[in-house]
Amino acid sequence: MSVPDRSGGDPSIGTASSGLDPASTRGLGVEIVVVLALSLGRSAVYSVLNLIEKLTRPEALSSQTTSMNSSITPDRPWLDLSYQLAQILFGVAPAALAVYLLLFRAGPMLWGRSPFAALGLDLRRPGFDLSRGAVLLAVIGIPGIGIYLGARALGLNTTIAAANLAENWWTIPVLVLAALEASLLEEIVIAGYFLIRLTQLGWSWWQMVLLSALIRGSYHLYQGVGQGIANFLMGLVFGLLFLRWKRVGPLIVVHLLLDVFSFVGYALLAPVVDWL
């Protein structure tokens, strides 16, 4: 992928001078910090602390397990379902906040469009979103499995138990909803909103993409160093593709598919295979 530098003026990537007065620049900067503090920035801090806690245990990192999507009250399925749905609802709330801010606190136009339109969160190009997402699934997913297994073998990663809900009629639907929550939150906030706001502030493309990828990698460190590296690399690809396509739709599609395969696949395969 050919990416011009900031001075090149190529609108296909879309870095720009902010054109904001100092007060507006500070306002957008504070807004970014607040959104991250309420969502993935907070997750990154806790993830780093969690990794430190795991690294300072007596047992090796590779002998530890990171459990995800766990039941809270497995003996009371109706209450467990209520907990799971509440977690999903509140988990996606920062993405809704980011969309609201781009819509009603827009700031400068980008690429001839409003910031909300620049997000590309619509159904006007479903074929584009689905086809690009499907291709990315193979490009990102297969190497990702290799990195995970390799990192485990090298002692750089925990074993990830991706689905630990008690068996109920609603287990698979809730895992799919959890995948949807993660894809909406991460791609709207860290790929869409974050890069749009930094573009409005006049950052260069490589600064934006690098910082976005660093944040993405850091909030996965609770799973181990290997997953942090894998998600950092994925963040670089996603950041460049968002600036190229100016649509968050394909990224949501591929992230959703990756997590559905991870969560549901683990729930179905873990009882019958020993390499997960």
pLDDT digits (tens, 9 = 90+) for 5-34: 333 333 345 445 566 777 788 899 999 999
pLDDT-derived band at 142, boundaries 50, 70, 90: confident
Distances (CA, A) of 253 to 74, 127, 219, 239: 31, 11, 20, 15
pLDDT digits (tens, 9 = 90+) for 210-243: 999 999 999 999 999 999 999 999 999 999 999 9
Residues sharing a CB contact under 8 Å with residue 245, sequence separation 6 or more, in sequence order: 120, 128, 132
The helix or strand, by DSSP H or E, that contains position 66, with its residue range, turns out to be strand 65-67
Residue among 142, 120, 99, 138 at smallest CA distance from 244: 120
Tallying the residues shown for the chain, one arrives at 276
CA within 13 Å, CB half, 71: 18
Q: What is the value of pTM for the model shown?
A: 0.90
Cβ proximity of 235 and 227 under 8 Å: no
pLDDT digits (tens, 9 = 90+) for 162-182: 999 999 999 999 999 999 999
